[in-house]
């Protein structure tokens, strides 16, 4: 497991642009970054990009809905803000084929958390 903390927020508009430009391939890098961050915060190896890619291909995309839902639920646990809003949004966008939009929303929350943690450092 990568023990280095993500110290720089991702550029969300650039990520969205490159995801659309590359027909979704760039979003794999966004997913990898989010998986690493969530794994560190959860202190367990819960997410794996390779496993996600394989299962998503084998299930014709259905597994990605499960992953997005789990990421939303885990984020609620990490952030201490319980509720089903993010999970429902993740599923809704996933059914519409817009998982990269939820990834941008989640990345915004991760970016804000990174910026808050940097604000407290001397």
Q: In this predicted model, what pLDDT tens digit does every residue of 40-63 receive, in sequence order?
A: 999 999 999 999 999 999 999 999
Measure the CA dihedral 55/67/69/79, to 10°: 170
Alpha carbon distance 23, 65 (integer Å): 18
Quote the pLDDT of residue 82.
77
DSSP state of 69: H
Regions of the chain short of the pLDDT cut 70: 1-7, 120-122
pTM, to two decimals = 0.87
Quote the pLDDT of residue 2.
45
- CB neighbour list of residue 78: distance below 8 Å, 6 or more residues apart: 38, 41, 42
């Amino acid at each position: 497991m990568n023990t280095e903390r993500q110290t720089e927020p991702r550029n969300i508009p650039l990520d969205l642009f490159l995801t659309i430009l590359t027909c979704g391939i760039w979003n794999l890098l966004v997913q990898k970054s989010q998986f690493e961050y969530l794994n560190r915060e959860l202190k367990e190896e819960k997410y794996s990009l390779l496993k996600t890619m394989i299962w998503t291909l084998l299930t014709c995309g259905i597994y990605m809905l499960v992953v997005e839902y789990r990421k939303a639920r885990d984020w609620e646990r990490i952030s201490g803000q319980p509720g089903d809003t993010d999970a429902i949004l993740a599923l809704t966008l996933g059914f519409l084929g817009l998982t990269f939009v939820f990834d941008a929303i989640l990345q915004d929350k991760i970016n804000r958390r990174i910026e808050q943690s940097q604000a407290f450092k001397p």
